Amino acid sequence: MSAQVPAGTVVVGMQLPIQSQSTIYAEPWEAEAGVAELAQVARACDRAGFFSIAVCDHVAIPEPLAEKMSTSWWDTVATLGYLAGITDRVNLLSHVYVLPYRHPLVAAKAFLTLDALSQGRAILGVGAGHAEAEFAALGADFPRRGQVLEDAIAVVRAAFAHEFPEATTPTWTVSGLGLRPRPTHLGGPPIWVGGSSPAAVRRAAQLGDGWLPQGPPEGGMAPAIERIHRLRADAGRADTPFAVGANVEPIYVGEPAWHVGKWCLSGAPERIAERLRTYGAMGCNQLQLRFRSRSCAELVDQIDAFGVDVLPQLND
């Protein structure tokens, strides 16, 4: 599977459970789950025809945030590397990798390696980060994180494009250093930029190959998408592939026998597909899904049902 979203289609992806367990989204059963359950869910997404599976990124959670965020955040690249070995088709997305925590050549080497191990299925989703105390612990520059992210994207792009990249930015100068393995596809893994702030939307349009919104953007999705297209046109990028993301409401395929929450999209596959097609009509072409579940087995059943009964209807 190519890591570029096919033109004229809507694809789906899912952030995997277990690997990160923020109280905002983790289901209770994940606390006792491990590698075996993670593998079952990843293989179900692969089998169901999902475009991508995703994992998050934090290094060390500051203690004041631990009650809400938990400290369960498996290493992004190590987890994606494991997933590369147990799946065949699904793309492997960091959603999102906090580039300002690392030197960009470290990030480039990690994702060039993941790209080689997965035979071209890596997608580098990046973000500026938000946990100030985590930045401080890692010696990273919190006040300049936006500029650092933009500079890091430039260096990573150069490393994806050339074995001996040349890049001069306000934060880094890179010259005379070679990186292998080289990417499977020309230009390397796509870079999708995460965030919903005006600055994040601008970065996605001007520097990225896709946008991963995180929460509702200021003014709503439609104006943000319109702005992205305008900025891309202004930058001469209108004709290059671009993935416009959307985080859709939680889903339960079928009629649940338990309380799945007020905002959960449930019921017949046709009803779910009809709702998801509205995102495509808005201009989104990659939908990030989340399913309600009480166990790993129920989640796998939900993914299988979505793949059979809902996914084929999204591009009718």
The span from the CA of 150 to the CA of 262, in Å, is: 38
Split at pLDDT 50, 70, 90, the class of 7 is: very high
Residue 135 has pLDDT above 80, yes or no: yes
Neighbours of 75 (CB within 10 A): 14
Report pLDDT digits (tens) over 268-310: 999 999 999 999 999 999 999 999 999 999 999 999 999 999 9
Report pLDDT digits (tens) over 149-170: 999 999 999 999 999 999 999 9
Length of the chain: 316
- At residue 1, the pLDDT reads 54
Q: Show me where the domains of the chain are located.
A: 11-313
Split at pLDDT 50, 70, 90, the class of 40 is: very high
DSSP element (H, E) containing 288: strand 286-289
User: Which architecture characterizes domain 11-313 according to CATH?
Assistant: Alpha-Beta Barrel (3.20)
Mean pLDDT, rounded, of the chain: 97
Q: What is the pTM of this model?
A: 0.97
Pairing of strands 167-168, 173-174: antiparallel
